[in-house]
Chain A
Amino acid sequence: MSTAFDVILALLVLLLALRMLSTRGLFQAVILFVSFGLALALVWVRVGAVDVALAEVALGAGVTGALLVNTLRRLETKAPDWLDIARYGPLRAIVPAACGLAAAAAGAVAIAAPRAEVPLAPLVLETAAGVGIGNPVTAVLLDFRGYDTLLEIAVLLSGLVAVWALERGRPAVPAPSDAAREPVLAELVRWIVPLAVITAVYLTWFGSYGPGGAFQAGALLAGAGVLLLAAGFLQPAGSSSFVLRSVAASGLFAFAAAALHTTIATGGMLRYPAGTAYYWMLGIEFVLVVSIAAILADLFVDVPAAPRGPAA
């Protein structure tokens, strides 16, 4: 019975992806992308990867979807909608061939996957329990493979810096004044942003016991930040703002400082002293949350605050 549910869910995701990749309208494709992300999150929950589901919804469907919509808005004044699949004769055959080849290769890997001699999963579970962390994924992210997470933050920050570099010289969007705010959105934002902050703090703290963690909470806060921008409560701070730069970089600096300290103190990079792992992780995560939120919210360039229209 549960297999039937799996098959239906997989078909749903597949159909959404098919429709999204073959549709002519760009806006339809973006909306389908968000739905695709949500359906994929259901798959993650079904497989038991709840952290990944949270991240998929918050980052994959939420942040990426919003970025796509924003870009669509910025592009629509420039480029026409060219959507045809390649018209040249021989090229037409390449697309289905490419699809089939890639899928078949991946499928062959899936079927022929060798079994590991020493399975990693039970080892991780044991060690995580030994360290006192209830969520093995968070333990892997911040303790066992903390180095990867450090580099991940560096990648995020580099992405932001690169986007800033690309945005230089574009005219800035003026923010509307206090009296010009769209009232319904403003009211919703007044209720949602405090709730988002509380939920983000809770998610970060809870990430050590169950599904949650810094990245999902950071994405939630970034969403709140974008809402504030859209409602006109926040003026978009340019890349020259010192506060913005410090907050965005604080995550990387805190993590690097922790790495440096642990290298000196215990001789291994990010090898926390015995018994203190929980506190180290929590401390790093809380700095990370604010930093990630700032980085993600700043990827949204030119978000126009919804002004009060003439029909008010």
Chain B
Amino acid sequence: MSELVFPALGAALLGLGFGAVVGRRHMLMKIIALNVMASGVSLLLVTLPARVHGTTDAVPQAMVLTGIVVMVAATALALALAVRMADAGADVDVVQAGKEGEQP
């Protein structure tokens, strides 16, 4: 039962991150929330095998390492997109931007 602590944390982070991606309006917060979701998944990947095998598993660790690097690249791109959006005049508030798009 005690090995479920960190997988539970991973699941909770996944849920929290998803809720924030859906619920927060600011683009930067959505990006941060995506990172939190990725951390939750990483936790699940690495800590679940300990429950099954009892030892640290190297393959998920390598996967998570790759995942962290890919997340950095994706975050950098998302942030550059957000800045470009703001430059082009779009509101960083997604709901506001959606409303503006509706106007004929």
> Which residues in A have some Cβ–Cβ distance to B below 8 Å?
3, 6-7, 10, 13-14, 17-18, 20-22, 26, 29-30, 33, 36, 40, 43-44, 46-49, 51-52, 55-56, 59-60, 63-64, 67-68, 71-72, 74-75, 78-86, 94-96, 98-104, 106-107, 109-111, 113, 115-116, 119-122, 124-125, 128, 136-137, 139-141, 145, 148-149, 152, 155-156, 158-160, 162-163, 166-167, 170, 213, 215, 296, 299, 301
Q: Are B53 and A121 in contact (CB under 8 A)?
A: yes
Residues of chain A within 8 A (CB-CB) of B75 are 64, 67-68
With A67-B79, A107-B8 already in contact, the answer to whether A156 and B26 are too (CB < 8 A) is no
Which A residue sits closest to B41, measured CB to CB? Answer: A106
- In the assembled complex, the CB of B50 is this many whole angstroms from the nearest CB of chain A, namely 7
A56–B46 CB distance below 8 A: no
Contacts of A107 in B (CB 8 A): 7-8, 11
How distant is the Cα of A227 from the Cα of B86 in the complex, in angstroms? 27
Question: A236 to nearest B CB, angstroms?
Answer: 15
Query: Is B59 in contact with A140, judged by CB distance below 8 angstroms?
Result: yes
A26 to B31, CA, bound (A): 12
Expressed in whole angstroms, the Cα–Cα distance for A200 and B91 within the complex equals 41
Query: A121 vs B13: C-alpha distance in the bound complex, in angstroms?
Result: 26
> Once the chains are docked, how many angstroms separate the CA of A107 from the CA of B77?
31
Q: Say whether A166 contacts B81, CB under 8 Å.
A: yes
> A14 to B13, Cβ gap below 8 A?
yes
Query: What is the CB-to-nearest-CB distance from A192 to chain B, in angstroms, rounded to a whole number?
Result: 22
Residues of A within 8 A of B79 (CB): 67-68, 71
Q: Contact partner of A10 among B6, B31, B33, CB < 8 A?
A: B6
Contact indicator A121/B66 (Cβ below 8 Å): no
How close is B45's CB to chain A, nearest CB, in angstroms? 10
**What string of 1s and 0s marks CB contacts (under 8 Å) between B83-104 and chain A?**
1101100011101100000000
Please indicate the chain A residues that have their CB under 8 angstroms from the CB of B77 in the complex: 159, 162-163, 166
